[in-house]
Amino acid sequence: MTDLPRSQHIVASGAVALVGITVAWISWTQESAAAFLFPRIISTVFVVLALWTFGKALIGKTKVGAGLSRNAILAILPGLAVMLVYVFWAAAALGVYTASTVAFFILLTLYDPAPHGEVRSWIKRVVITA
């Protein structure tokens, strides 16, 4: 293992800890106290645990979780982008069915291992989409 996963662990657990602190801050400052009693208890435990993991990541003692390799990030990014555009924009703007068909087709094109140069594989994609 290189240093990459370690710094990633620090960033990730740091982010989780930040969320925890925000949540705790909101719970302890919002009124009414009665309605926020339960969130207060949870968020406090949340922060303690998150800081614990963060500390462990800092000293490099994280035992589980593989982290992300550069290749993996490159591989998922386009798919992730298609997915998010599909969900947050296209599904509402183009209609669910149109958007699904288009997204389906793009995903197949991106990730189907068949060579892109051949007409046959394109036809196959269209057929599968339909």
H/E stretch holding 40 reads helix 33-58
Q: Which is nearer to another protein, 42 or 119 (CB)?
A: 42
In the complex, the smallest distance separating the C-beta of residue 105 from another protein, rounded to whole angstroms, is 9
Round the CA-based radius of gyration of the chain to a whole number and report it: 22
* Residue 57: count of CB within 10 angstroms of its CB: 23
In the complex, the smallest distance separating the C-beta of residue 62 from another protein, rounded to whole angstroms, is 7
Cα separation of 129 and 99, whole Å? 12
* Residue 66: count of CB within 10 angstroms of its CB: 9
Q: Which residues bind another protein (CB under 8 A)?
A: 8-9, 12-13, 16, 19-20, 23, 26, 30, 32, 34-39, 42-43, 45-46, 49-50, 52-53, 56, 62-68, 72, 75-76, 78-80, 83-84, 86-88, 91-92, 95-96, 100, 103-104, 107-108, 110-113, 128
In the complex, the smallest distance separating the C-beta of residue 119 from another protein, rounded to whole angstroms, is 18
In the complex, the smallest distance separating the C-beta of residue 120 from another protein, rounded to whole angstroms, is 15
8 A C-beta contact, residue 129 and residue 108: yes
